[in-house]
């Protein structure tokens, strides 16, 4: 069983400070006459922060799912159009020359059909 690394206390404190700065900085950056009321009220700001947190959680979950499933796969795929016609594909990659000759011989004898070599 693996243990998760503990988050250091200063990192949480730093994140909290940055969040507070992000909420309060628009109020200080735009000195508009609002009749002694804040430009950005606490409750609407809280709703936006909550929604953005949920959006971030969804996007990170989606990104993690794609990465863990190895999607999209940008590498070359082992495929032959004859598979669509009902043929069977037996694929092997990175074979030595002796292994390639042996595989061609064995597959040719067993299937009695055509053996193709496709370079990737």
Contact 96, 79 (CB under 8 A): no
Residue boundaries of the structural domains of the chain: 9-68, 76-120
Q: Would you call 24 helix, strand, or coil by DSSP? A: helix
pLDDT in tens, 20-63: 766 666 656 666 777 877 777 788 888 888 998 999 899 999 99
Is the pTM higher than 0.85? The answer reads no
Q: What is the pLDDT of residues 22-33, one digit of tens each?
A: 666 665 666 677
pLDDT at 120 > cutoff 60 = no
Report pLDDT for 23: 64
Q: Answer for the pair 15, 56: CB distance below 8 angstroms, yes or no.
A: no
């Amino acid at each position: 069983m693996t243990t998760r690394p503990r988050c250091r206390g200063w990192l949480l404190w730093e994140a909290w400070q940055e969040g507070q700065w992000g909420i309060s900085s628009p109020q200080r950056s735009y000195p508009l006459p609002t009749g002694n009321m804040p430009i950005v009220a606490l409750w609407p700001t809280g709703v936006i922060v909550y929604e953005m947190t949920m959006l971030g959680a969804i996007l990170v979950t989606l990104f993690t799912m794609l990465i863990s499933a190895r999607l999209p796969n940008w590498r070359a795929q082992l495929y032959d159009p004859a598979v669509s016609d009902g043929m069977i594909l037996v694929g092997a990659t990175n074979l030595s020359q002796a292994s390639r000759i042996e595989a061609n011989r064995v597959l040719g004898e067993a299937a009695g059909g055509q053996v193709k070599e496709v370079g990737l």
